[in-house]
Structure 1
């Protein structure tokens, strides 16, 4: 089968590889759509921290935002998975340790991440092997575009749930990339008053197109009471800004990761009685994201700028946008092309 293989920093090519075989408890998925995210781009560039810690290595096959159809079953898998449209969890825990048993498999010490770590092949290929325990079925109302947006949607939904906000309360989202815009969409669907802070004019324009009138740059940000702030950026200075802006007794949720360490003044954290929350992975939010997409309360499709074939993936990983791309931050790949 054809698969995108990253062979070293800045080097990737489509190769003919052996198709996967479903082991016990696994299924084979014919992949139909894959999203490219910042983690994939860092793996391609060589900047990803896992490459330096030994958790990831070259050659690697990226791709962890995906959907497709189950076409083969391994031993012990229920027959009704065959032919179903699915997406799946990126984080594969050992299933035996105390973290996994407590429902926190995404922070298992031995977690393997599809398309990211421990040599687990990703979805930028015609087929993918996945444990049946990681699968999430997709209803007919969730098309290919939304199906490949479930994984980032699960991350964004977890961030919003971590704010603890109720309908009518006010949220500020820092960042107008995919996760920031998804977080805004999920928050609005819950009746939360949403504002976004960005620096990219294109991202701010898209936010306004999506109906968010409160899309600001830092100089124009109004002095309002922010009951929670979600940092969905990759800027090292924004966690401190989030702490500065949030209301006393509010919450700061960090889901973005900067390339260099971020610093906050814990005196502000304590004296404002602020709760700070970190969010890793979308595992616990996948089902909720699917429900929101299926029911129509969240339509994330405008975030996808273009869908291209596997041969164009290396250029996308290098930061090149397809000539026909729209304003959205996300590029999708169809491995069948």
Structure 2
């Protein structure tokens, strides 16, 4: 079958690779749609810290935002999975360590991350082998485009839940990329008053077109009490800005990763009695994201700029992005050219 392979820093190729086989406890999935995100770009560029720690290595097959249909079952897998549209958890724990047994498999020391670490081939391919224990069924109301947005949606929902805000309270989202906009959507669905901070004036148009009138830049940000802040940016100075702006006694949630180390003054954290929360992975947020997409309270599909083929995504990764206003590019492996 054909699959996207990162063969080295800056090198992305579509290659013929062996088709997957459903081993014990696994299924084979015909992949319908895959999203490409900043993590994939870090992997392609060789910037990901996982290369330095040795848990990731080239060649690497990426793709962790996906959906598809189960077409083959391995031994020990419930037959009801066959023919179902599914997505799955990116974080695959060992299942036996202290963290896994406590329900924290997403931070298991020995985990694999689909298409990212541990050598587990990702979904940017015609087919995917995947452990059935980490599958999530998608209802008929969720199409492939929304299905491949469940993983980023789960991350965003975890951010909103971690804020512990109530309806009517004011949230500031720092960043207007995919995660920042999904955070805004999930927060709005809970009745939270949402404001966004865009990196540039050019970046205010899309959030406003999605029904968020309160989009600001650093120069125009009003002086308001912020009951919760989510840093979904990659700016090195933004984590400190979030701590500066947050109301005392409230919460800042960090999910964005800067390209260089960020500094936060913990004296300010203590003296303002602020709770800082880090979010890694969508695991606990996946069921809620699926429910919100299914009932229509959140619709992520307006964030998709274009859907291209496997060959087309090579061009996108090389900087030749197709026209479209959304931050997300999807891949349909069945497309030609």
State the TM bucket, normalised to the shorter chain: over 0.9
Partner of 1:62: 62
Alignment of 1:103-142 (within 5 A): 103-142=103-142
Residue 181 of structure 2: SS of its match in structure 1?
helix
Which segment drifts farther, 261-270 or 84-93? 261-270
How far 1:326 moved relative to its partner?
1.3
Aligned-residue CA RMSD in angstroms?
0.8
Q: How does 1:1-337 map to 2 (within 5 A)?
A: 1-322=1-322, 325-337=323-335
Q: 1:202: Cα distance to partner? A: 4.0
Q: Aligned with 2:191: secondary structure?
A: coil
Q: Secondary structure at the match of 1:7?
A: strand
Matched length: 335
Secondary structure, in 3 states, of the residue corresponding to 1:4? Answer: strand
Contact 1:141/1:294 (CA < 8 Å) preserved in 2? yes
Compute the displacement of 1:172 (Å): 0.2
Structure 2 unaligned residues grouped into runs of 5+: none
Task: Quote the offset at 1:316 in angstroms.
Answer: 1.8
Query: Tell me, what secondary structure is at the counterpart of 1:222?
Result: coil
Structure 1 residue 50: deviation in Å?
1.1
> Structure 1 unaligned runs (5+)?
none
What displacement does 1:318 show? 2.8
Q: Structure 1 length as normaliser, TM-score?
A: 0.98
Q: Deviations over 1:71-103 (max 9, x none)?
A: 000000000000000000000000001100111
SS at match of 2:157: helix
| CA–CA separation in structure 1 for the residues paired with 2:21 and 2:179 | 33
Q: Tell me by how many angstroms 1:334 deviates.
A: 0.4
Distance in 1 (CA, whole Å) between partners of 2:34 and 2:325 is 18
CA 1:153–1:111: 2 relative to 1, 3 Å: same
1:199 CA drift (Å)? 1.8
| Contact kept in structure 2, 1:202 and 1:327, CA below 8 Å | no
TM-score (norm. length: structure 2): 0.98
SS at structure 1 position matched to 2:115: coil
Cα deviation 1:82-138 (Å, max 9, x = unaligned): 000000000000000110011100000001000001110000000001100110000
Is the contact between residue 41 and residue 318 of structure 1 (CA under 8 Å) also seen in structure 2?
no
Contact 1:45 1:318 in 2 (8 A): no
Task: Work out the CA distance in 1 between the residues paired with 2:161 and 2:320.
Answer: 34
